[in-house]
Amino acid sequence: MDKMGFSSNEPILSSHTNEYLYKWSELKSLMKVGIINSNTMTAFAGFWLALFYTGASLSQYWHVLLVTLVGTAFVIAGGCVINNYYDRDIDQVMKRTKKRPTVTGTIDLLHVLIIGISLSVVGVLILSLASIPTAIFGAIGWFSYVVLYTMWSKRRYTINTAIGSLSGAVPPLIGWSAVDPDLHVIPWILFLLIFIWQTPHFLAIAMKKVDDYKDANIPMLPVVHGFDITKRQMLVYVVCLLPIPFLLHELGFIFVLLGTILNIGWLALAIKGLFTIDNTKWSNQMFIYSLLYLTAIFFSMIIITLPSNLL
């Protein structure tokens, strides 16, 4: 009797455990963890530089930092979940999105919508604990991603990439305003840096996945105007990044040098694209370089200012 009881309980427990793990992995795909990570990193950088420029110490603001990062993550997660909910019709057409829970039905659509709205509202409320401007910037970022990009421009205009870049550029303003609600020219330079960076980054993705976007009838630039115009557009945006390190010269010579080297490297790769035949390989190189570029730029900002912020 005991043996029979043990044998019947074990698979049930294992089944429930696997089910919970599966649901969690599905939920993570809805929230787009990669986007959350990159945006909280830039929010942290905005917060960190605000400490540096205002002469404040992390010991004074560690609790505000915690609130800011958690609130930012919640707002971004909420926006991404709603994005998945709204795009479920085109996601079933695109190969890279066919397995999302909103397509497969593994999570009820009503639950998806409730999760998205709840995360968004709670995130803004958490950000308000840092400061009201912080919550406002969080709400602006959410609105530009969910409404201006997802619901309005994504399916209508080739400039959807630029419009979507507004939301991705907001996190440094969120982070900075948690320390200094009056802001400063520096967070706006960070905003500009990320806004410019996103277009070549996302156009590289659009080139890699051009067939998916064609199938879903999404008017991405390479779909509507082809690769040649797209590559020229990417080059223009990379050129626009060249002055940015010099606008942040107060971070020191090492940062300006590193930023300039990274810009020249990306510029050389962008120019190479004008003459390349293997567009898939080149667009993948541009995509990888864009990730390395953003990581190196923001980590260098943090490391350079580390001594003064910990005093």
Query: What distances in angstroms separate CA 100 from CA 18, 39, 56, 83, 119, one per listed residue?
Result: 18, 21, 43, 12, 19
Residue with tokens 């939920």: 27
CATH architecture of 25-183: Orthogonal Bundle (1.10)
Q: What is the pLDDT of residues 143-191, one digit of tens each?
A: 999 999 999 999 999 999 999 999 999 999 999 999 999 888 999 999 9
Q: State pTM to two decimals.
A: 0.89
Dump pLDDT digits (tens) for 250-273: 999 999 999 999 999 999 999 999
99: left (phi over 0), alpha (psi -120 to 50) or beta: alpha
**Domains 25-183 and 184-305 are alike in CATH topology:** no
Question: In whole numbers, what is the pLDDT of the chain averaged over residues?
Answer: 90
pLDDT in tens, 193-204: 999 999 999 999
Q: What are the structural domain ranges in the chain?
A: 25-183, 184-305
CB 144, CB 82: distance < 8 Å: no
d(Cα 248, Cα 192) in Å, to the nearest integer? 12
Q: pLDDT band for position 307 (50/70/90)?
A: confident
> Range with the lowest mean pLDDT among 33-37, 101-105, 152-156, 240-244?
101-105
Domain made up of 184-305: CATH architecture: Up-down Bundle (1.20)
**Spatial CA neighbour of 248 closest among 212, 292, 297:** 297
